[in-house]
Amino acid sequence: MGAAGSQLLGRLGGPRRAALPGAAWLGAAALGLGAAALGTVLWRRRARRPRRRQQVGTVAELWIFPVKSCKGVAVREAEGTALGLRCGRLRDRFWLVIKEDGHMVSARQEPRLVLVSIAYEDDCLVFSAPGFAEQLVLPTKLPSSNRVHNCRIFGLDVKGRDCGDEAAQWFTGFLKSESFRLVQFEQSMKGRASRSIFPSFVQNYQVAYSDGSPIHIISEASLADLNTRLEKKVKMDQFRPNIVVTGCGAFEEDTWDEIQIGSMEMKKVLACPRCIMTTVDPDTGVIDRKEPLETLKSYRLCNPSEQPIYKSSPLFGMYYSVEKIGSLKVGDPVYKMM
């Protein structure tokens, strides 16, 4: 007991405090409890004080890529969920092309996947491809009787419900190399854990079929900077970001540790390490295997201290996790949380 407490007991006559009238003793106790409660409220108010925000840009584009490696769907507004952007039943990287043995197929192996266009109509995905007359209409809600596959993405296991023989025949007929299946991730399935994908210091979250995080952000200025160094210009869809930001400097997104867009809050995970996928031309489906990857390597490699993470991959764009789910739309300010 502290000195102040001893002095108080002395003034009350030590153990004789029981002789105080009941009302007086209860009043003193209530006063003490009230003061303690007030202190707790004041502390909580200080702890919940809103953080400062600084506008660093504006949302120029929002993209959902339903099928890994196929074309994206531009949306005007979306909901930011823990697993990525959603618009109705349209989800980002919730569908995946696989081989018969369950291994992932992306444009790294089948570059022509980038030519597959997707429209979202009446809770269905409508697939079309150049030189392929027949469209594929796929409901976003599958029969529970459809088989669930054990899929493999970058050495990690994840489930996927088979989308049926018609979808399998459509993708097999278009790619014309071997037999393929299309699978869909479901909310009840367990995603791939972030700490199995990246080093243990990243925050804890899950992804469905995305490479590394629920949200991928690039600024228009970063693409413009890259294009000043290239003989053949590249488009933003070559890098497949979910959120394109305008009104900031080149690579300024590298410095945004925590941001808010609309009512959604996000936290930086890591920079996006680039691979041969970036050399697939989204208009022709031809893989170049050199540019823009070689140019990026000339000026966008990591610091030597980060080589255990990124190795020799150049960095372009940023991965974010969703810390607070919410809605966002094109034209929303992008705030850096201070």
Residues 101-137: tens digit of each pLDDT: 999 999 999 999 999 999 999 999 999 999 998 999 9
Let me know: does 203 contact 267? Beta carbons within 8 Å.
yes
Q: Is 292 exposed, middle or buried (0-12, 13-18, 19+ CB in 10 A)?
A: buried
Cα 47 to the center of its chain, rounded Å:
28
**According to the model, what pLDDT value does residue 48 have?**
61
How does the average pLDDT of the chain come out, rounded? 89
| Half-sphere exposure in the Cβ direction for 315 (13 Å, CA) | 19
How many CB atoms within 10 Å of residue 236? Answer: 19
Which CATH superfamily hosts domain 54-337?
PK beta-barrel domain-like (2.40.33.20)
Residue 270 has pLDDT above 50, yes or no: yes
Beta bridge partners of 187: none
* Residue pointed to by tokens 């039943």: 89
CA dist 314 and 321 (Å) reads 21
Closest CA to 158 of 108, 104, 195, 120: 104
Let me know: does 208 contact 151? Beta carbons within 8 Å.
no
**According to the model, what pLDDT value does residue 51 have?**
85
CA dist 223 and 250 (Å) reads 8
Closest CA to 328 of 54, 53, 56, 87: 87
**According to the model, what pLDDT value does residue 10 have?**
35
pTM: 0.85
| H-helix segments, the chain | 3-11, 22-47, 165-175, 194-197, 220-227, 293-299, 307-310
Closest CA to 325 of 91, 80, 90: 80
